[in-house]
Chain A
Amino acid sequence: MNCRDKPELRERLAAEYALGTLRGRARERLRRWLRDDPELARDVAAWEARLAPMAEGLSPVAPPRRLWAKIERQLSFKRPFSLWKSLGLVASGAVAALLAVAVVLPLRPSGVPASYVAVLTDPKTNAAVLVATAERSGRVLRVNTLDPAIHVAGRSLELWALPRGGEPKSLGLVPAKRGDLKLLAAADQSLGDVPSLAISLEPHGGSPSGQPTGPVLYSGPCVKYW
């Protein structure tokens, strides 16, 4: 059958294909025709355009969070961890910033400076954008965002600990200005084997997968000061 010569029929088939009521072999046949009949393809596209807005009537349903990770895996996107290889380049510039900041670190009320200090810098300008400190047995990471302009509307910045030879561990979302992030264990355990921290750009609310998904924007060394 050639529907090319029967405008009414081709119109009906295009409409029913787009609506979904054309089934079975008729559906497959039409799909084959679509490949070499641009006019028919245009008819179908026109029907899809007429009907697709119906989907607006459905209330959105968030898919399970694992779905994105599965898509990335199927497309063999770089494993998130490999993003961190660029880190070495950034670290050296940050050491200077670290030293500069460390000497002016505020003292705790007891007069003892924080034990762990990290300074994260912008690799493009070498400017320090964030300082994080913790006491060795403390369970709090104090974060001071030196440059509030690093925040991106509608997105979140997530702070990561990069343990030696391990996968990044989330420390939480970067606060607007100053803020405390809870550590899962005392700093000696949480940061003891963490030579550097980094910040990635994530969807609003943070990485849905527990691993960085967006680009690494800032990073820097994390050292035990005393």
Chain B
Amino acid sequence: MAPPAQELDQLLSQCALGDREAFRALYEATAAKLFAVALRILRREDWAEEVLQECYVSVWRHAPEYKADRAAPMTWMTSIVRNRCLDWLRRPNPEPLADEALEALESPNPGPLARLEEGRDSAALARCLRGLDARQRQAIALAFFDGLSHAELAKHLREPLGTVKTWVRRGLQRLKACLGALP
């Protein structure tokens, strides 16, 4: 589990001042979490490594722009990594996800979804995800964890594109309502 947000906040603000020791500590505290995120989406260690390298370089350079009141540090860094991964998959071609690979995807349910319940920052989200229709939940999880596009979701779930888009859209709406209603 990642260290508390306050600790990472502190490290990030030290990074903003050019403190390399703090950057090193930040890397130590977060690299394995973020590598797992990248590896899951990209499915290749060498790509995940390259993306993570770009991300940490970017974190160091943009640390002065990080604003703790806007995003929790782990949210900020996770988003950087996920965005880079999705950009990477769009490059003129890192091999599109083969059909067999799609078939072989581990179902994120229960896997990572089950583990969410134990997370300090994810318990509320886990509760709200549980409240979704199973298919909405699965579509959202596949999109988040595996970086699947609507088209890939449709193929993987063997459903028409429109149907899958609707699941994702409704799922997200319900998620927002549920998270907003929690204390």
Query: What is the interface of chain A, defined by CB distance below 8 A to chain B?
Result: 12, 15-16, 18-21, 23-24, 27, 45, 48-64, 67-68, 70-71, 74-75, 77, 203, 213-215
Contact = CB atoms under 8 A, between A and B. Distances in A.
A75 B86 contact: no
Contacts of A62: 31-32, 35
A203 B147 CA distance: 33
A57 B111 contact: yes
Contact of A20 (B21, B82, B116, B169): B82
A59 B70 CA distance: 26
| Best-surrounded residue of B24, B33, B45, B115 (most CB of chain A within 10 A) | B24
Nearest to B114: A57
B125 A23 contact: no
B144 A51 contact: yes
A27 B148 CA distance: 14
A71 B56 contact: yes
Contacts of B2: 56
Contacts of B76: 48
Nearest to B140: A19
B37 A58 contact: yes
Which DSSP category, helix, strand, loop or mixed, fits chain B's interface?
Answer: helix
Interface in B127-165: 140-141, 143-145, 147-150, 153
Interface string B27-47: 110011101110110000100
A102 B139 CA distance: 71
Nearest to A213: B24
B103 interface: no
6 contacts: A16-B172, A20-B147, A27-B86, A55-B36, A57-B145, A60-B33
A18 B90 contact: no
Nearest to A78: B20
A149 to B, nearest CB: 20
B1 interface: yes
Contact of A64 (B49, B72, B82, B153): B49
A214 B21 contact: yes
A56 B35 contact: no
A165 to B, nearest CB: 26
Contacts of A54: 112, 116, 122, 125, 141, 144-145
Contacts of A12: 169, 172
Contact of B122 (A57, A203, A213): A57
